[in-house]
Structure 1
């Protein structure tokens, strides 16, 4: 992992820098001169609206075929129609809608089986996520829902797609994960959402060490606070305050999507295992650079592979390591 940046991890994580980013910074758009994706295929999860829809739009502008995923077929078809407006599409399958429910392991496995028949798969933007106001648990796995969808299911999909993308590219301590099956005494929905995302970053730092960037580039991109529907489940005072914050600070989804598009186009292998923000490689969370963070990442990596072993994920990763 790179250790030299133009800003320290502590400063980047500060509230002052957050407000600076949201109010001042504008990631530049990616043009076809920067990255021509003609002939490339991209999967974008959670693309029926918000940031995912904008990522799909920008990748289409660069010439890619896109596969957008959604839990709702009707919403997916509406998104396909929206993306098709005003476009002279090169083929009937330039925009495809595939069903995917990240709260269901069966849905993920079926999605991956379908992906295996693609002629090529070059880009995967795993954008789908949930932001839960109430503390709820997945009935199938027992994990808190944000941790289930934003972390476990997303990591499972990541690992299962790795060998497809490679082939078709034109412990002595208490386990960490079981804690997310227990109710907490004082529920903090915002803190829980951040935790579910941090888990993904910790895991990615370990996974990236084992995957050759010449096969697949893995990075973690932050689009910033945008006017998406992520807070759709809020209500009452929380909804009112959230709307005020959106009005003052939130970026248009088109602007936030630019960073995700840069992450999968212009930054290349330099971004492998890195955190991408404002269209640049940036320092990640402070914890990642501390010995405790390194220990937690290694432990979380082992815990997660054990949790997802029903899908033979360890064998997939081991095969990628052997082929480096």
Structure 2
């Protein structure tokens, strides 16, 4: 019989969720080759570009990869619509989508002035789901130009991205 250190009710508690949100650190990615692929991931743009330009040992990558930072504000549905439209009009391929926003829980509940949705719910779930849904036609139209299916991850760093040696 298997014995677990924590009960399901404690595992699913709000304090445990908040603890994991505050302490989770994804493992560094070392062995994944993204040469020639197109990926959409939400991160802090300039910092992400600098990290992607370097190898794990800190030396500059020699590949001819291009990294672009596009404006996307998940607080505004219009921004999500514009982002998806730009992707549909400009991307020749779309290999990876990781629309993982993260807005911490504010001390006071707030609602978006136009949509009247809870701001945290709108950023963390509604806009993320909208973006993923709007990018599905892009996935379909670009499928013929890439050797493997598009990967869509709506959670933590997927296992195919983790470095087995870290």
TM interval, shorter chain, is 0.5 to 0.7
Give CA deviations for 1:119-177 in whole Å, capped at 9, x if unaligned. Answer: 2111011122211221111012011101111111111101001121232241xxxxxxx
**Which 5+ residue runs of structure 1 have no aligned equivalent?**
1-5, 49-75, 171-213, 223-259, 267-324
CA, structure 1 residues 92+263, in 2 after alignment: closer, same or farther (shift >3 Å)? closer
Q: Are 1:81 and 2:50 counterparts? A: yes
Is the 8 Å Cα contact of residues 43 and 123 (structure 1) preserved in structure 2? yes
Query: Match for 1:123 among 78, 87, 96?
Result: 96
Q: TM-score, normalised by structure 1?
A: 0.37
CA, structure 1 residues 101+134, in 2 after alignment: closer, same or farther (shift >3 Å)? same
Please give the secondary structure, in 1, of the residue aligned with 2:70: strand
Is the 8 Å Cα contact of residues 99 and 154 (structure 2) preserved in structure 1? no
**Which 5+ residue runs of structure 2 have no aligned equivalent?**
none
Q: CA RMSD in A?
A: 3.5
Shift of 1:265: 7.9
CA, structure 1 residues 151+42, in 2 after alignment: closer, same or farther (shift >3 Å)? same
Name the structure with the higher helix share.
1
Q: How does 1:181-260 map to 2 (within 5 A)?
A: 216-222=150-156, 260=157
Query: Match for 1:98 among 51, 70, 78?
Result: 70
Higher RCO (C-alpha 8 Å, min separation 6): 2
Shift of 1:108: 0.9
Matched length: 142
What does residue 109 of structure 2 align with? 135
Please give the secondary structure, in 1, of the residue aligned with 2:133: helix
Q: How does 1:281-292 map to 2 (within 5 A)?
A: none
Query: Match for 2:129 among 155, 179, 200?
Result: 155
Q: Are 1:112 and 2:84 counterparts? A: yes
The 2-side partners of 1:43 and 1:112 are apart by 11
Shift of 1:98: 0.8
Shift of 1:77: 3.2
Q: TM-score, normalised by structure 2?
A: 0.67
CA, structure 1 residues 38+217, in 2 after alignment: closer, same or farther (shift >3 Å)? closer
Query: Match for 1:262 among 134, 159, 162?
Result: 159
Query: Match for 1:14 among 10, 13, 20?
Result: 10
The 2-side partners of 1:7 and 1:163 are apart by 45
CA, structure 1 residues 122+140, in 2 after alignment: closer, same or farther (shift >3 Å)? same
The 1-side partners of 2:136 and 2:95 are apart by 10
Is the 8 Å Cα contact of residues 123 and 264 (structure 1) preserved in structure 2? no
